[in-house]
Chain A
């Protein structure tokens, strides 16, 4: 017993030594910045575009073989394919712009959750089919508006990817919107279920239209995106479909946010630990 006490005392003393030694280093400053630590704005901006699509495509791909009808297995796989394809283009561009030798795969498989820049909306677990389709619709409507604006922006490479992706997004929003109408209008049960999904998801829609320093900074690269105008266009699309689905637009709640600066829900860690498991077990390998 006596020995133990002695050992602990020694530890305490040495810790005290370290502390006092640190304090002797002058000038000492522990005050850091409040803001998130961002990389180069253009890279951050393109990562947000890529990560939204990668994470949502991944969530959709979880449905493969488990859909409510065979036709929908095919359709959901199509959505997933398009989104992962878009993500590959955006992440490829982000890697190029970053200039640190990271390609799309390196960015997808070797970044931690806190380095991901997707909106929280897309990382939520897939839920039931109605949840998946409602989330898809809310995102697709945003994506159409966003890509439409970016397709004519002043950054040629980004504009080209946006234009190509826009064609797909227009098809997606039709597909997911039709499902929202079907499920909202269908049966009592489907109406109740999809209403619940809408209510759960609504608080994650605000983040899509948040403007921050990155959006301001990329204007220097010719990327000008009017968030308020985009929100108005998005609302027009969403309200029309919700009305046809006999669903009420939820009252504006306090919106969740954080994904754009790496402050995610806990779901991102689990999603990535699945997605990255094989790649990370074999660093440097070719597949």
Chain B
């Protein structure tokens, strides 16, 4: 069907006004008019982010029952709990864009939705709890500090709040690493092994190189994203390498060197074959992660049904009483 001329004119006037607001650095709020593409891109990014928080509970949850001290056990439980809170908070954020949380959950469970590639790697030793906090939460912070300036108000505000907690996670993770680094030879070896294993997947968290990133240009134009994947990745490497040096670690990259002229730590080529394999669902733990989420969902079905049935009964009896 052909659109009436006036509606098209209206639409392009709206887009122009919208883009002017973005250019002026204004934030877009749920009630404001926005292009459908903008809304879709935000839903995509926010739901991926929320899914990552939720799936991210699994690799770390894997070590809660084995944490080697009571203090570490508590801080790991608290961390995983924070991630659940982040997930919930961002899912609620997507609801301001007219998306139902259950719909997003369905997409996660049936494997349509994407989440951060890093969580498809296994956690194999206690040291992973340090290295994930340090590198993975660290990488998330680099991403999210920029997202806190994103043009969509609710997402930006969520990022400010979440970033504070991610910072805490990162400090805690680095502190675990520093403790292991100062520990027994076995503890130091455990730490180095974890760093060797997690370093490259952590760099992949920033997504494909700008030349291969299909959504980047549009996201940058609308200030959904404020920096490119490669810029963020470089920033992360620059921040992290000195932290590795400080606790006597090596990083598994023979090409890593400091470039005086740019002030950047130059690093070697990422194994993009591995990255795209993981993204396509063929990473080491994709199946396990999805299976765990599906299992929890299926096991919980009778509980959710019961809670709904009870709430409905309460509702009925309170209406009758009134």
A and B, one complex?
yes
Spell out A's residues near B (CB within 8 Å): 54, 58, 61-62, 64-74, 77-78, 80-81, 84-85, 87-88, 91, 104-105, 108-109, 128-130, 181-183, 185-187, 189-190, 193, 274-275, 277-279, 282, 284-287
- Cβ-defined contact, B302 with A189, below 8 A: yes
- Cβ-defined contact, A130 with B81, below 8 A: no
- Cβ-defined contact, A274 with B66, below 8 A: yes
> Please, how many angstroms separate the alpha-carbon atoms of A159 and B248 in the complex?
46
Looking at the complex, which one of A74, A84, A285 makes contact with B70 (CB distance below 8 Å)?
Answer: A84
Chain B residues near A190: list those with CB within 8 A. Answer: 302-303, 305-306, 309
The bracket for how many chain B residues form the interface is 35 or more
Cβ of B28 within 8 Å of any chain A Cβ, yes or no, is: no
Looking at the complex, which one of A58, A71, A72, A109 makes contact with B65 (CB distance below 8 Å)?
Answer: A58
> Please, how many angstroms separate the alpha-carbon atoms of A57 and B137 in the complex?
26
Distance in Å: Cβ of B95 to nearest Cβ of chain A: 14
Cβ of B202 within 8 Å of any chain A Cβ, yes or no, is: no
> Please, how many angstroms separate the alpha-carbon atoms of A279 and B77 in the complex?
17
Cβ of B236 within 8 Å of any chain A Cβ, yes or no, is: no
> Please, how many angstroms separate the alpha-carbon atoms of A130 and B87 in the complex?
24
Distance in Å: Cβ of A182 to nearest Cβ of chain B: 4
Chain A residues near B69: list those with CB within 8 A. Answer: 105, 109, 279, 287
- Cβ-defined contact, B66 with A277, below 8 A: yes
Chain A residues near B84: list those with CB within 8 A. Answer: 65, 70, 73-74, 77
Chain B 87-126 interface 0/1 with A at a Cβ cutoff of 8 Å (1 = within) = 1100100000000000000000000000000000000001
Cβ of B57 within 8 Å of any chain A Cβ, yes or no, is: yes
A70-B87, A74-B81 known; A187 vs B305 contact (CB < 8 Å): yes
> Please, how many angstroms separate the alpha-carbon atoms of A166 and B285 in the complex?
42
A64-B81, A185-B313, A274-B66 known; A71 vs B302 contact (CB < 8 Å): no
- Cβ-defined contact, A81 with B81, below 8 A: yes
Distance in Å: Cβ of B264 to nearest Cβ of chain A: 35
